[in-house]
Amino acid sequence: MGVNYLFRDVGSVEDLNRLRDHLLIQPLHYPEYEKWVIDRCIPELESGFKKVILGFYYDNLIGDIIFQEHKQLPRTCELKNMRINPNFRDKDIGHFLIRQAEEEAKRSGKFDRVILDIDSEETGIKKFLMFCNYNILFQAPLYGKRLDIIMGKELFQNNLRNYSRHSELIQ
């Protein structure tokens, strides 16, 4: 049995439309998620502020990871969104996408660390991120009343900066 996976960035307006649809069918718990996708995410991808890696199985979009320079923390890459088609979970696609985003952040020379947030009720995602060597930095209600977990990872092992100093900037 052959496997035909392809990982790449956006190559066309059709790719952006497919990504938009992929994001909208998997909203999780974020308030005004649809508005964020349409009014912020897609335009910021078009402008180049946000970056994305798309995952395809044959010609079907099955996953994405969206990342950007953090707006407040220096030398910090922020993972904004990762969605994997439920039929393709547990195939290590998410792990691959995260590693690729980390490698792009390293290669850019602009980042020392990666940060992200997850809903505190998403225990499976938290375990997955801990498997990917992300650490819990703190918890806060970022998007309303629900508690979110902020996690981070240093990109270079010899770069042992104190996360608490950086977390104070965004609290």
Task: Give which of 109, 98, 13, 29 is closest to 64, Cα–Cα.
Answer: 98
**Mean pLDDT, all residues of the chain:** 90
Q: How many CA atoms lie within 13 A of 57 on its CB side?
A: 11
Q: CA 135, CA 115: separation in Å to the nearest integer? A: 9
Alpha-carbon dihedral sign for residues 150, 118, 65, 131: positive
pLDDT in tens, 19-64: 999 999 988 778 899 999 999 999 999 999 999 999 999 999 999 9
**Which tens digit of pLDDT belongs to each residue from 143-169?**
888 899 999 999 997 654 444 444 444
Q: What is d(CA 63, CA 22) in angstroms, rounded to the nearest whole number?
A: 8
pLDDT-based confidence at 1, cuts 50/70/90? low
**Distance in angstroms (rounded) separating the CA atoms of residues 121 and 97:** 22
pLDDT of residue 164: 45
- CATH number given to 5-170: 3.40.630.30
**Edge-first strand listing for the sheet containing 113-119:** 5-8, 50-57, 60-69, 76-84, 113-119, 148-154, 135-140
The whole-number pLDDT of residue 150 equals: 97
pLDDT exceeding 90 applies to what percent of the chain?
A: 81
Q: Where are the domains of the chain?
A: 5-170
